[in-house]
Every structure is written in C-alpha cells, then in structure tokens.
Amino acid sequence: MQKKSDENTAASYNKNITESMVILMDTLKLANEIISGKRIDKKDNYLSEFIDTDLDKLKKGADMIRAALVGEKVDLCTIINGRSGKCGENCKFCAQSAHYHTSCEVYDLLDEDTIVEQAKANESEGVDRFAIVCSGHHPSESDFEKIIHAFERMNKECKIELCTSLGFLTSEQFKRLKKAGVTGIHNNIETSRRFFPQICTTHTFDDKIANIKRAQAEGLCVCSGGIIGMGETWEDRIDMALTLSELGITSIPINSLMPIPGTPLYGNKRLTEEDIIRTIAIFRYINPTADIRLAGGRALMRNDGEDTFTSGASASITGNMLTTSGSTIKSDKEMLTRLGRDITPVWI
Ligand code: SF4
C-alpha cells in the first residue's frame, strides 16, 4: 500500500475512517460494478478509501473502466494562446493575472492568419481538436467578432474539431460560437466549491457552474476540470470529481500545479507523480465515461506522464509549444502507439 505524503491528505478523512466502520474497498470489484452500470455519487460512504487504497489496484481498476467504457482512442487537443496576460481576475495559480508580477508574455488578440495557420499545422500532425484560449473574464465585443470570424474560416478550411476557452459568455455568444463551427467549450471549475474562494475572489464557483450550464444549454460539449496541488485536500479533489460528474462533463482536464514565480502559489510544494496518478485514477472511477485529459504539469512525471495512460487517462493536451515537459505531438503519438492506443483523428 502506498501512503500519501502530502500534508493535505485529509486528516479529516483518516478521522472519519477510524471513527466509522472501516470499509475495505475492493477497487477491482468496484471497477467491475462501474463497468456494469454503477455510478458513484456523494452518498457513497467509501469515497475516503480512495485516498489510501492500494495504488496499483486502483490504477488497474481505472484502466479496466477506461478500456471498457471509453476504449483505446486517445483524444489529443492543442491550444493557441490567442490573447495573453492583462487579466483582471485574480486566480492565484495564473501567470496571466494582472494582479501578480510574472514574466508571462503579454499581447492582444493574435491576428486571424496566425490562428488559422496554427490550426492547419496541428491538423496536419493528426491532432483531434484545436482551441483558441484567451485570457480575461470575457472577450471584448470586437475581439469576440474577430474570434467568430476566425472560427468561421477554420470551419471552412480545416477538418480539425474546434474548441475555445473565452471565459464567461452569454447564451447568445455560445450560440454564435456553435454556429461558427465550435463544438467544445473549455471552462475549468478549478477545484472544489469549498476551496474555490481561496483560489479566486473576482468570480465565484457558482459563476463557473452557470457559465457551463449556459454552454450546455446551447448544445455545446463542455471541457471542465481543474488544477491539483494548490493546497486543496484530497476531499476537495474527490468533491471536484463529483461536481463534474453531476454536471455531465464529458472532458476533464487535470492540471498539476507548476508553481509560477510571482504568483501567490509559488511556494507550494510540488506534487508527487504518485499523487497525480492517484488523482487521475479516482477521477476515472467517478467519471467513468468522460475523457480524463492529462494537461499541465507533465514535467512532474516520468516519460511525460506515460503511466497516467494506464491509470485512467484517455486524452491529453499536446503540442509543440507545451511548456517544460519537452513533449511534442510526435513524441506523444509515439508513446501512445507504443502503449497500443488508437491515435486516429476523430475527424478522419
Ligand atoms: S480568468 Fe483565466 S486568464 Fe484570468 S487569471 Fe483566471 S485563469 Fe488566468
């Protein structure tokens, strides 16, 4: 059994376990029940056992669920940072917040040709989807119109699936994005409802939920996950996974915090690979049919996070411009092929 070293490993959970009847979780049996249709919810009284249960068995069960309910296909997405920095929000993990002094690049919305060229380059490398990501609470009206135009053009000229992350939008704006060819909206809930106010105070957890529901109501798929390693407890991580399940989220990016100089979380202890893998496996049990997407923080793991793909992960953000991990679209595809996974683009 691998014990957690993280101080945040939920003392409260251990207390609950010793104070109540200890239920010895049989993760493989649970995995088979999930494959047969069981779904975990907040009422299940064994959730705390995910924290200390044998990691190898947990991984095996998560991989069984992934193989049975998602299959061998690994969904690969790339992003372009369409507008960088100068954000008025105060998310404590983010280099782009104007509240902190970081060395992040600052620029206004990129021109359409640059964005479209990037989409085409990623398509030619066999990536499934491409997203325009912009800093800020929401885009200005003129930026929104430029983004719509860029999507209309990509929709005509490319086959790659189109996604975007533009912050808080109205129903009408979501409708227009869909009409322009966008199929997926990215909007992370970041963490649990309990912990969210310690991470951001310029918008609320409920603002996020309402935004996600507006996008879903317009028929858009929502990609929403968060960041681990911000000081949250294991209980918070499990709670985040449960919230995403309740929202019916179909793509869940898991970022591991890479503390950025200048941000309030810079001093945070780095996560261990074991904690990242355990988190991904837990998310697979709680969200069995969703894509669990490996995102930021791959440099914290060996071989760019290879083990996560046998521990429940079924998707990844990839790209030749990804920060510190050194992975590229080519190296990710080689790694996934070696693991016997299917990397045929969805749009073929
Ligand atoms: S809203 Fe987005 S860009 Fe702005 S600080 Fe938060 S995460 Fe960063």
Ligand 1 center to residue 170 CA distance, Å? 18
170, part of any domain: yes
Number of domains observed in the structure of the chain? 1
Encode the chain (348 residues) as per-residue pLDDT tens digits: 333 444 444 444 444 444 434 456 799 999 999 999 999 999 998 899 999 999 999 999 999 999 999 999 999 999 999 999 999 999 999 999 999 999 999 999 999 999 999 999 999 999 999 999 999 999 999 999 999 999 999 999 999 999 999 999 999 999 999 999 999 999 999 999 999 999 999 999 999 999 999 999 999 999 999 999 999 999 999 999 999 999 999 999 999 999 999 999 999 999 999 999 999 999 999 999 999 999 999 989 999 899 999 999 999 999 865 455 568 899 999 999 999 999 999 998
Those residues with Cβ within 8 angstroms of residue 258's Cβ, 6 or more apart along the chain or in another chain = 270, 296, 297, 299, 300, 323, 324
The alpha carbon of 165 and the centre of ligand 1 are apart by a number of angstroms equal to 11
Task: Indicate whether residue 87 lines ligand 1 (CB < 6 A).
Answer: yes
Contacts of 218 (CB under 8 A, 6+ apart): 171, 174, 175, 178
pLDDT at 25: 77
Does residue 23 lie in a domain region?
no
Q: Which atom belonging to ligand 1 lies closest to the Cα atom of 200?
A: 6
Q: Helix 27-35 crosses helix 55-69 at what angle (to 10 degrees)? A: 10
CATH number for 308: 3.20.20.70
Ligand 1 mean position, distance from CA 167 (Å): 8
Spacing, Cα 331 to ligand 1 middle (Å)? 29
Asked if residue 207 is part of any domain, the answer here is: yes
Instruction: Give yes or no for residue 257 CB within 6 A of ligand 1.
Output: no
The CB of 164 under 6 Å from ligand 1? The reply is no
Question: What pLDDT score does 16 carry?
Answer: 45
Range of the domain at 257: 68-336
Q: How many A from CA of 88 to the centre of ligand 1?
A: 8
The predicted structure's pLDDT at residue 106: 95
240 pocket-lining for ligand 1 (C-beta < 6 Å): no
What pLDDT, on a 0 to 100 scale, did the predictor assign at position 339? 96
Per-residue confidence (pLDDT) for residue 319, from 0 to 100: 83
| Protein residue with least CA distance to atom 2, ligand 1 | 135
71 CA to centre of ligand 1 in angstroms: 33
Q: What pLDDT does residue 19 have? A: 40
Q: Is residue 265, in this structure, part of any structural domain at all?
A: yes
Mutation test residue for ligand 1: of 79, 87, 137, the one with most atoms within 8 Å of CB: 87
- Residue 189 CB–ligand 1 contact under 6 Å: no
Domain assignment present for 50: no
Cβ(188) to ligand 1 under 6 A?
no
Amino acid 15: pLDDT: 45
Please report whether residue 111 resides in a domain.
yes
The answer for residues whose C-beta is within 8 angstroms of residue 324's C-beta and 6 or more apart is 258, 299
Answer yes or no: is the C-beta of 104 below 6 A from any ligand 1 atom: no
- Asked whether residue 12 is assigned to any structural domain, the reply reads no
pLDDT of res. 21:
41
**Is the minimum distance from the CB of 27 to ligand 1 under 6 angstroms?**
no
Q: How far is the CA of 94 from the centre of ligand 1 (A)?
A: 6
**Which one, of 3, 2, 1, 13, lies nearest residue 237 by Cα?**
13
Instruction: Give the pLDDT of residue 327.
Output: 81
Mutate to test the pocket of ligand 1, among 84, 93, 94, 133 (most ligand atoms within 8 A of CB): 94
* Separation CA 263–CA 280 (nearest Å): 25
Cβ(309)–Cβ(336) below 8 Å:
yes
Residue 260 maps to a domain = yes
- What is the C-alpha end-to-end distance of the chain, expressed in Å? 43
Crossing angle of the two packed helices 273-286 and 55-69, in degrees rounded to 10: 40
**Of 81, 90, 91, 201, which is best to mutate to test ligand 1, by the most ligand atoms within 8 angstroms of its C-beta?**
91
